[in-house]
A and B are shown apart, each in its own frame.
Chain A
Amino acid sequence: EVQLVESGGGLVQPGGSLRLSCAASGFTFSSYWMSWVRQAPGKGLEWVANIKQDGSEKYYVDSVKGRFTISRDNAKNSLYLQMNSLRAEDTAVYYCARVVINVWGSYFDYWGQGTLVTVSS
């Protein structure tokens, strides 16, 4: 059974940093692209970042470029999101998701339950 379990969320002041983790199990982690997707309170889903199987390619939504870094440790079956210079608008539930990318498109086939990040003074 595929499982994705996020951790690391919490309350942080504006300008602060936080590192999210996602522990993966039930599949060959090193064979899949992985993603972070977020959802602000009462709002829709927003894709945040993707990382290739070996970490050689990373993509980000414009609003987090230069502030967030996605990474992975295939030996530990873990995905990470380092978030720096946090802003109030980064407040959201952050989901870890497995993503399948091919020539005709992409889709997120498994999701974690999410971890809440609150940026407030």
Chain B
Amino acid sequence: SSELTQDPAVSVALGQTVRITCQGDSLRSYYASWYQQKPGQAPVLVIYGKNNRPSGIPDRFSGSSSGNTASLTITGAQAEDEADYYCNSRDSSGSRFGGGTKLTVL
């Protein structure tokens, strides 16, 4: 399948660790990138490549990949991490986003 599949919603207790996953065939060939989007705002890149963070992104965000699954891990989730998270992958026709995961920090 050319789709990228994400769990619609995930929750985490404040200060705990959460993993958000993304599955798709294109991830066997390409690394995923991950985006955080808060209500009314444009998406922000948080992870790209094997496990790279843009300047200004806290080091509690990390990425990993295995087979057809990419993961975004937040170690020690903070209240400000509550947001929608989207994975993205290059594919044969251009690019594709996952459906998004709504992260709730309890």
A contact set with B: CB distance below 8 Å: 35, 37, 44-47, 49-50, 59-62, 95, 99-101, 104-109, 111-114
Q: Is the CB of B94 within 8 A of A105?
A: no
Q: Given A37, A44, A60, which contacts B99 in the complex, CB threshold below 8 Å?
A: A44
Count how many pairs of residues, one from A and one from B, have CB atoms less than 8 Å apart in the complex.
74
Binding site for A on B (CB under 8 A): 30-33, 35, 37, 42-45, 48-50, 54, 84, 86, 88-90, 93-100
Q: Are B42 and A114 in contact (CB under 8 A)?
A: yes
Contact A35 B43 (CB under 8 A): no
B42 touches A105 (CB 8 A): no
Q: List 27 A-B contacts (CB under 8 A).
A: A37-B43, A44-B97, A44-B100, A45-B35, A45-B43, A45-B86, A47-B94, A47-B95, A49-B94, A50-B94, A59-B93, A62-B93, A104-B30, A104-B31, A104-B49, A104-B50, A105-B33, A105-B49, A106-B33, A106-B88, A106-B90, A107-B45, A107-B88, A108-B45, A111-B42, A112-B42, A114-B42
Minimum CB–CB distance from A89 to chain B (whole Å) comes to: 16
CB pair B100 A45 closer than 8 Å: yes
Least CB separation from A101: chain B residue: B90
List chain B residues, Cβ under 8 A from A61: 93-94
Q: Once the chains bind, are A45 and B97 in contact (CB under 8 Å)?
A: yes
* Nearest Cβ on chain A to B88's Cβ, whole angstroms: 7
A65, closest chain B residue (CB): B93
B48 touches A109 (CB 8 A): yes
